C-alpha cells in the first residue's frame, strides 16, 4: 500500500521541516517508491530557465563538462535543481512512468504519456543518473533520470502537431505571453525588453495581437542578431538595440517614440541583473511593469520606483496563469514566421 502524501509535497521535504518544497534546502529524491498522490516521470530533457543557465555557463566558463559537474552537484546537495545563485529552476520533458493510486481516477494522464511539467525544477524532486547532451545555446540538457510531480503540480501533454523540442521551448516560458494576453488592451503602447529572446518573441506576437491597429509595440534587443530577428518577424512597430542595464539612453529613445507619453505596459524578459529601472522609467505612472525575468531584484524595483517617484504597478513574473500552455502553443500554430524561427532555434 502506498503512503499517503501531502498535496503540495511537504512529505518530500527533508530540511528544514515544515517549509514547502521550493524554499526547502533539501528534498527527498528517492524514486524507488512513490507516495499515493505523486506522478513518477522518466525524464528526457531538462529545460533550465534562462537566468539560471546563463549563471551556470558563466561559472563554468562555457565548458560543458563543468556545466554538467555544477548541475550534478546542485541535485546531489538539494535533491532538486534549484540554482543556489538565482534561486530558479526550469522545467522538464519526460514520460509518465507511474501514477499514484490516489491520482489514477482524478487526472487525464496514463502511463506512457509524454508531458512537460509546468512547475519549476526548483521544487521538483529530481534524480540525474547521467547527463547525455548539453545544448547551451537553448538552455536544454538531455539526461537519464527520474522526477516527481506532486498532486498540486501542473503539466501539459506534448501535442502531436509539433516537435517535442519546439513545444518544450515554448512551454518553458508560457507564463509570459499568457500574462501579456491579460495585461494588454486595444490601443496600448507596449514595451518588450529582451524582445529577441524566446519569451520576448512570443510576447511581441501576443502584444501586437492584443494592442491592435490603434496600439504600438516597441521591441528592444540586446545583440545585433536578436534585434535583426525581431525586425524580420515584423511583430513590432519600432525596434532598436540597447543595453537594458543603462536606463537613460533607453528612456530618451522611448520619450522620442511615444512623444513623451511613455508606455502603458512594459514586459521585462531579460536574463541579466540591473534592468529594473529601465522598465520603470519607460512606463507611465498609471502603467504596469511585468517582470518575467528571474534575474529581477524586487528590492531594486521597489526602492528604485520609490526613488524616482513612480507609481507604476509592478507584477511579479508568475510562470503560471490560467490557460497559459494553450495560449502559448496556439501562438506557434497561428504564426508561421514565429514557428519557423522557433523550429530553427529550438526544435
Q: From 274, 256, 254, select the one nearest 266 (Cα to Cα).
A: 254
Rg, C-alpha atoms of the chain: 20
Confidence of residue 50 (pLDDT cuts 50, 70, 90): confident
Q: From 188, 31, 214, 13, select the one nearest 203 (Cα to Cα).
A: 188
Do 140 and 181 reside in the same domain of the chain? no
Q: Which of 131, 158, 185 is the last residue of a domain?
A: 158
Do 191 and 221 reside in the same domain of the chain? yes
Helix, strand, or coil here: 311? coil
Do 150 and 185 reside in the same domain of the chain? no
Residue 322 has pLDDT above 90, yes or no: no
Residue 25 has pLDDT above 80, yes or no: yes
pLDDT exceeding 70 applies to what percent of the chain?
100
How far, in Å, CA of 196 to CA of 338, rounded?
Answer: 11
Convert the pLDDT of each residue in 171-217 to its tens digit: 988 999 999 999 999 999 999 999 999 999 999 999 999 999 999 99
Answer for the pair 158, 115: CB distance below 8 angstroms, yes or no: yes
Residue 305 has pLDDT above 90, yes or no: yes
Do 150 and 229 reside in the same domain of the chain? no
How far, in Å, CA of 82 to CA of 25, rounded?
Answer: 9
Q: How far apart are the first and last CA of the chain?
A: 41
Query: What integer pLDDT is reported at residue 165 of this predicted model?
Result: 84
Residue 294 has pLDDT above 90, yes or no: no
Q: Which of 129, 158, 187 is the last residue of a domain?
A: 158
- 296 falls within a domain: yes
- 168 falls within a domain: no
- 132 falls within a domain: yes
Count of the separate structural domains present in the chain: 2
Do 257 and 109 reside in the same domain of the chain? no
Helix, strand, or coil here: 235? coil
Provide the angle, in degrees to the nearest 10, between the axes of the packed helices 324-334 and 198-211: 80
Query: What integer pLDDT is reported at residue 51 of this predicted model?
Result: 87
Q: Which of 127, 158, 189 is the last residue of a domain?
A: 158
Query: What integer pLDDT is reported at residue 169 of this predicted model?
Result: 85
Using CB atoms within 10 Å of the CB of residue 297, give its burial: 0 to 12 exposed, 13 to 18 middle, 19+ buried: middle
Q: From 271, 261, 264, 321, select the one nearest 291 (Cα to Cα).
A: 271
Do 317 and 257 reside in the same domain of the chain? yes
- 249 falls within a domain: yes
Cβ burial 103-139 (10 Å sphere, 16+ → b, else e): beeeeebeeebbbbbbbbbbbbbbbbeebeebebebb
Do 271 and 123 reside in the same domain of the chain? no
Name the grid cell of 306: 520609490
What CATH number has the domain bearing residue 221?
3.40.50.720
- 5 falls within a domain: no
Helices (H), 173-319: 175-183, 198-211, 224-233, 247-257, 276-281, 298-307
Nearest 5°: phi and psi at 144? -100, 125
Do 228 and 304 reside in the same domain of the chain? yes
Query: What integer pLDDT is reported at residue 320 of this predicted model?
Result: 82
- 119 falls within a domain: yes
Answer for the pair 264, 244: CB distance below 8 angstroms, yes or no: no
Q: From 153, 127, 151, 123, select the one nearest 19 (Cα to Cα).
A: 123
Query: What integer pLDDT is reported at residue 100 of this predicted model?
Result: 97
Convert the pLDDT of each residue in 207-261 to its tens digit: 999 999 999 999 999 989 999 999 999 999 999 999 999 999 999 999 999 999 9
Residue 1 has pLDDT above 90, yes or no: no
Enclosing domain of residue 19: 10-158
What is the rounded average pLDDT of the residues 308-336?
A: 92
Do 145 and 185 reside in the same domain of the chain? no
Do 138 and 198 reside in the same domain of the chain? no
pTM for this predicted structure: 0.84
Do 51 and 103 reside in the same domain of the chain? yes
Do 90 and 187 reside in the same domain of the chain? no
Amino acid at each position: 500500500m502506498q503512503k499517503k502524501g501531502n498535496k503540495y509535497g511537504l512529505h518530500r521535504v527533508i530540511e528544514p521541516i515544515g517549509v514547502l518544497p521550493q524554499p526547502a534546502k533539501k528534498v527527498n529524491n528517492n524514486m524507488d517508491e512513490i507516495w499515493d498522490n505523486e506522478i513518477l516521470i522518466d525524464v528526457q530533457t531538462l529545460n533550465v530557465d534562462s537566468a539560471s543557465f546563463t549563471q551556470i555557463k558563466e561559472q563554468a566558463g562555457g565548458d560543458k563538462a563543468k556545466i554538467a559537474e555544477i548541475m550534478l552537484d546542485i541535485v546531489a546537495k538539494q535533491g532538486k535543481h534549484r540554482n543556489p545563485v538565482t534561486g530558479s529552476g526550469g522545467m522538464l520533458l519526460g514520460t509518465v512512468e507511474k501514477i499514484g493510486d490516489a491520482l489514477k481516477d482524478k487526472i487525464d494522464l496514463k502511463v506512457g504519456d509524454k508531458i512537460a511539467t509546468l512547475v519549476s525544477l526548483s521544487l521538483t524532486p529530481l534524480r540525474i543518473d547521467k547527463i547525455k547532451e548539453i545544448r547551451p545555446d537553448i538552455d536544454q540538457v538531455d539526461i537519464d533520470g527520474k522526477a516527481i510531480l506532486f498532486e498540486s503540480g501542473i503539466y501539459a501533454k506534448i501535442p502531436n502537431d509539433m516537435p517535442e523540442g519546439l513545444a518544450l521551448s515554448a512551454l518553458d516560458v508560457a507564463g509570459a505571453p499568457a500574462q501579456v494576453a491579460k495585461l494588454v488592451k486595444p490601443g496600448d503602447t507596449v514595451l518588450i525588453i529582451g524582445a529577441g529572446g524566446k519569451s520576448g518573441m512570443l510576447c511581441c506576437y501576443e502584444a501586437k495581437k492584443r494592442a491592435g491597429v490603434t496600439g504600438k509595440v516597441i521591441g528592444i534587443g540586446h545583440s545585433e542578431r536578436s534585434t535583426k530577428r525581431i525586425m524580420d518577424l515584423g511583430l513590432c512597430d519600432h525596434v532598436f538595440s540597447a543595453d537594458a542595464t543603462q536606463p537613460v539612453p533607453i528612456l530618451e529613445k522611448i520619450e522620442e517614440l511615444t512623444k513623451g507619453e511613455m508606455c502603458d505596459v512594459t514586459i521585462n524578459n531579460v536574463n541579466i541583473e540591473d534592468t529594473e529601472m529601465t522598465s520603470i522609467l519607460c512606463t507611465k505612472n498609471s502603467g504596469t511593469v511585468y517582470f518575467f525575468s528571474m534575474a529581477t531584484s524586487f528590492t531594486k524595483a521597489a526602492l528604485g520606483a520609490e526613488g524616482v517617484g513612480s507609481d507604476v504597478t509592478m507584477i511579479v513574473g508568475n510562470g503560471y496563469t490560467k490557460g497559459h500552455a494553450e495560449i502559448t502553443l496556439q501562438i506557434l500554430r497561428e504564426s508561421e514566421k514565429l514557428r519557423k524561427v522557433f523550429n530553427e532555434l529550438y526544435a
